């Protein structure tokens, strides 16, 4: 499955789509990126005169790449799955924030599969800035129903 097809099957759209590229995906891992535009709605008022990307948005970006996109890819490897009908739900998060992400900053998300069974995916995720600094790390889990 091509990366552009994975992104097109995600149940998100602007302004709540936080996946720009899927650069690499396999049975065990995924890597993708996103640039947080300075004009994004969530920067208005967070924080006054010194905007940073809210942690909940960083978590969402990590989940859209490391859980939703990854889950769609894994489902696409099974026979007779209609990706148009897939339902996604995040079930748990354990995220540690290490550095702020500023407006117009690009991040790279890397996730490794911990397990995928009974339609539940658990991933270990890491997010880096373009300098290679670790921005966040943690674990995400969710249900991907065909």
Say whether pTM exceeds 0.85.
Answer: yes
The pairing of beta strand 106-117 with beta strand 87-97: unpaired
Cis link prior to 58 (omega < 30° from 0)?
no
CATH match for 3-145 among 3.10.129.10, 3.40.630.30, 3.40.50.970, 3.40.50.10490: 3.10.129.10
pLDDT band with cut points at 50, 70 and 90 for residue 85: confident
- Neighbouring-strand partners of residue 111: 30, 125
State the Cα–Cα distance between residues 121 and 88, nearest whole angstrom. 10
pLDDT tens digits, residue range 25-35?
A: 999 999 999 99
State the Cα–Cα distance between residues 125 and 128, nearest whole angstrom. 10
């Amino acid at each position: 499955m091509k990366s552009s097809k994975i992104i097109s099957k995600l149940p998100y759209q602007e302004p709540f789509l936080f996946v720009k590229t899927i650069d690499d995906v396999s049975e065990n891992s995924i890597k993708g990126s996103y640039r947080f535009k300075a004009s994004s709605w969530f920067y208005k008022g967070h924080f006054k005169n010194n905007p940073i990307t809210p942690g909940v948005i960083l978590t969402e970006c990590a989940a859209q790449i490391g859980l939703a996109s990854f889950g769609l890819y894994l489902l696409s490897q099974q026979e007779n799955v209609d990706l148009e009908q897939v339902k996604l739900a995040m079930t748990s998060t354990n995220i540690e924030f290490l550095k702020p992400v500023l407006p117009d900053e690009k991040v790279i998300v890397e996730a490794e599969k911990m397990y995928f069974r009974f339609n539940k995916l658990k991933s270990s995720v890491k997010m880096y800035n373009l300098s290679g600094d670790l921005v966040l790390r943690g674990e995400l889990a969710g249900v991907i129903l065909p």
